[in-house]
Amino acid sequence: MSQVGNALNMLILLKSRGKMKAKELADILEVKERTIRRYKEDLMCKFSN
C-alpha cells in the first residue's frame, strides 16, 4: 500500500483501538517500526500548523 494509504490506515486503527505501540501498528500494516514513527512525525508536522 502507498505511504498515504498506510498513514490513513494507521489513523483509523488508532481511532478505533485507541493507544497502540509502534510494534503493533508495524505488524498490522506490514512495515517497520521506524516507518510508523516517520508517519507519526509527518502527520504531526502537517496537522500542527
Q: Percentage helix, strand, coil, to 5, in the chain? A: 80, 0, 20
Residue 5: what residue type? G
| Predicted confidence (pLDDT) at residue 49 exceeds the cutoff of 80 | no
pLDDT of residue 1: 77
pLDDT of residue 36: 97
Domain limits, the chain: 3-47
- pLDDT tens for residues 2-45? 888 999 999 999 999 999 999 999 999 999 999 999 999 998 89
Q: Helices 3-17 and 22-29 meet at what angle, rounded to 10?
A: 130
pTM as predicted = 0.84
pLDDT of residue 28: 97
